[in-house]
Amino acid sequence: MKKCDICHTPLDFFKFRFAEGVICKDCYKIASNNFTGIIYCKSFSEIAELCNVKEDNSLRNGEFEITSRIGNYILFDDKNRKFCLTNNRMVVKEAQKPEIFSYADVIKCEFFSNPSMPITVFCKAYKNSGEIIKSISIYIYLGSQEVKEIKVIASPVRIKSFAFKRSFTFVNGIMDKFSYIMKNIEPEG
Ligand SMILES: [Zn+2]
């Protein structure tokens, strides 16, 4: 499946073309300044610049180099072994400052859903039912006794829906990445 050139979200039907490729709706929203600008003549570096600068102005001054990102939830810097919680504008209504943490601080990463179920049974058991998921969060436990929440789903969605499928890709991506981080290795590719 084709992926967003900026955040690597798999693209189903929402895709937006720029001069050298396509991006997802979330990135388009940022690059087009909330759907007001035109992106079709912009190059990849222009789009990347817009997305990163717009979203994470405060990161530019710090020692944070974005090497990968998962949706608009989290940015990773594999070089400096840090991650940044962007406090997703789409879920958290009031924009909060991005927060940066070190990979070394991560103790545990857990997944919670309402209704509650283990991540492994999710898709198998519920894929074809009309079941509704009210929320999904990932909790990241840090050495400082802090617990950070990433709200991936904040309002009820049907498991069959595209919105769910997309969010679930993010959940898996985040969980995978943290399992690598905690093992202190990097995924291949
Ligand atoms: Zn994207």
Is residue 81 one of the residues assigned to a domain? yes
Confidence (pLDDT) at 96: 58
**Chain segment 164-181, per-residue pLDDT in tens:** 888 888 999 999 999 999
Residues 66 and 135 in one domain: yes
Residues 138 and 170 in one domain: yes
pLDDT of 53 over the 70 cut = no
Closest CA to 161 of 121, 124, 133: 133
- Cα angle 56-101-165, degrees, rounded to a multiple of 5: 70
Cα–Cα distance list, 109 to 16, 68, 86, 88, 147 (Å): 33, 18, 17, 18, 9
Is residue 67 one of the residues assigned to a domain? yes
CA distance 41 to 87: 30
CA of 3 to the centre of ligand 1 (A): 8
Q: 149 is in which domain, residue-wise?
A: 56-183
CA of 103 to the centre of ligand 1 (A): 24
CA of 143 to the centre of ligand 1 (A): 31
pLDDT > 70: what percent of the chain?
80
CB-based contacts of 168, cutoff 8 Å, min separation 6: 122, 123, 136
Residues 28 and 69 in one domain: no
Total tally of structural domains belonging to the chain: 2
Is residue 189 one of the residues assigned to a domain? no
Residues 32 and 61 in one domain: no
**Chain segment 73-113, per-residue pLDDT in tens:** 899 999 889 999 886 555 444 555 678 899 999 999 998 98
Residues 173 and 122 in one domain: yes
Looking at per-residue pLDDT, the higher value among 188 and 20 belongs to: 20
Residues 24 and 85 in one domain: no
Contact 175, 138 (CB under 8 A): yes
Residue 108 phi, psi dihedral angles, 5° rounding: -155, 150
Residues 40 and 116 in one domain: no
Confidence (pLDDT) at 164: 83
Residues 80 and 140 in one domain: yes
pLDDT of 117 over the 50 cut = yes
Residue for token digits 């990135």?
27
CA of 51 to the centre of ligand 1 (A): 9
CA of 46 to the centre of ligand 1 (A): 14
